[in-house]
Amino acid sequence: MKKGGAERSPLFCLFIFSYLDVEKHLFMLIKTYGSAVYGVDAITITIEVNIGAGSSYYMVGLPDNAVKESQHRVESAIRIAGYHMPRQKILVNLAPADIRKEGSAYDLTIAIGILAASGQIDGDQLADYVIMGELSLDGGLQSIRGALPIAIQARKEGFKGLILPKVNANEAAIVNDVDVYGMDSLLDVINFFSGKEKPAPIKIDTRKEFFKQINSYEQDFADVKGQENIKRALEIAAAGGHNVILIGPPGAGKTMLAKRLPTILPPLNLQEALESTKIYSVAGKLPASNALMTERPYRSPHHTISDVALVGGGMNPQPGEISLAHNGVLFLDELPEFKRTVLEVMRQPLEDRKVAISRARFSVEYPASFMLVASMNPCPCGFYNHPEKECVCGPGVVQKYLSKISGPLLDRIDLHVEVTPVNFSELSSTRLAEKSSLIRYRVIKAREVQYKRFVEIEEVHANAQMSPNMVRKICAIDDGGRALIKQAMEKLGLSARAYDRILKVARTIADLADSENIEMEHLAEAIHYRSLDRESWAG
């Protein structure tokens, strides 16, 4: 061999070729795939691992502190599994590089990428799988958030399968047409790609899982003695999707009644169940035993809650209580005790049925279609208008207490229901009360009427969601009905905002009665549910 006129020995040539072969092995690039959750959807993240000459570890691509700390968890887990952490330069890139990566769920993805890039495992199959999981120091896999939206995105992008911690496997397996493998440790994943041990993918019959516990409620309206008028009001609220506020003294049963409202709502359909499951999956609140939510959510936050905790957001945006109540019930006990700023941030989600969280670099949107059920005492001492006990609040105190709730918020509540204490004869009665299943049957029938009514109108499914223009067309009343509402507004001092609310509620009452038209008795009952609109209510 000659170069520049000089002859090179065969030994030197062998050294050159060997050096080039080593260089080729040292500079090796491997791609593995993970996923990032934003809002209730996922984005595929490519984890590129390059091992070359040097001795440092670098991670780029906008990782947060939890992702950066993965180096130590990954190194310990690799050693425990019987493999070695390369001592060359390791460069890890999380692409796309302009999206911030958060959390510890990329540990497993990075570890497999390092092992494949260093030639310790075969990397030929890595492009077929999305790999996610947090590593313990002993190599065990901890649960992650958002397994369901990650599985949905993996199927959408044509990946063959999804590898994740076993505790999240059932949740992800409700997605069809993508193989889901639940693993206990890093060693299990290594054996999977080495071909030593390949378990069967987990299969979940989504429809069977959905119908298995669809009506399994612990509470029942049959447990409530008396309060038939309140049960009737909650039946109307459930039938039309109306927001409701219960006003009454302590111990009258407001909380007990509110807890049982989900038992008379129509069952979740499969689409609603998937929506709610995605939200709970992203929030990390889905029980490990449940692959799919089958009951309507019921959320009851304490009155000390912050506005961010209620609507969602934070440094790393997460769904708030109103999104966790999506397709279900949000119960706010002792409404005037909530901070005014907290209550005011609900106004827009109540109208739009979604909440948008905006940041400088990105924005996320969470669904928030819920029924608001609130309760309150009529005054600070709790006994204003009580049939037996005397109110000790001074002049103007009751009105001041009620003024903690703004008019625009009350404008979004259709039914104002006064709750009176149950007397002894009703409490001690052995007569069986009506079960939730019977009330639910009537509610479902009324909802079916509304479904047919709004079938061609997008995003309107119940009477409570009608716009003012729709109210004029759908809630037409005759001259007698108009005269009744006029008389009620004049004699009872009802405010102008009560007009549309009365018509919406009357339409729901007519649907429950299977009546095509709104009759006088339907209007009269709807007028009865506007207590807080009466100018004389608080003296």
pTM of this structure: 0.86
Q: Which residue has the tokens 């949107």?
A: 365
DSSP 355: E
Q: What CA–CA distance (Å, rounded) separates 9 from 332?
A: 87
> What is the full per-residue pLDDT of the chain (539 aa) written as tens digits?
444 444 555 544 444 444 444 444 445 789 999 999 988 899 999 999 999 888 899 999 999 999 999 999 999 999 999 999 998 999 999 999 888 898 899 999 999 999 999 999 998 999 999 999 999 999 999 999 999 999 999 999 999 999 999 999 999 999 989 999 999 999 999 999 988 888 899 988 777 776 766 666 778 888 888 888 899 999 999 999 999 999 988 888 899 999 999 999 999 888 898 999 999 999 988 877 777 888 899 999 999 999 999 998 877 788 999 999 999 999 999 999 999 999 999 988 988 899 988 876 678 889 999 999 999 988 888 787 777 788 888 878 888 888 888 888 888 899 999 888 887 677 767 777 889 989 999 999 999 999 999 988 888 889 998 988 888 889 989 999 999 988 888 887 777 667 888 999 999 999 999 999 999 999 999 998 887 766 555 55
Dihedral sign for Cα atoms in the order 443, 446, 448, 453:
negative
Q: What CA–CA distance (Å, rounded) separates 396 from 539?
A: 8
Residue 493 has what pLDDT? Answer: 75
Contacts for 439 with CB less than 8 Å, ≥ 6 apart: 221, 231, 235, 238, 264
Residues linked to residue 50 through DSSP beta bridges, in sequence order? 29, 91
Residue 519 has what pLDDT? Answer: 92
Q: What CA–CA distance (Å, rounded) separates 192 from 161?
A: 12
For residue 252, the Cα-to-chain-centroid distance in whole angstroms is 31
Peptide bond connecting 96 to the previous residue in cis, omega within 30 degrees of 0: yes
For residue 425, the Cα-to-chain-centroid distance in whole angstroms is 43
Residue 5 has what pLDDT? Answer: 45
Residue 535 has what pLDDT? Answer: 55
Burial 35-74 (b: 16+ CB within 10 A, else e): bbbbbbbbebbbbbbbbeeeeebebebebeebbeebbebb
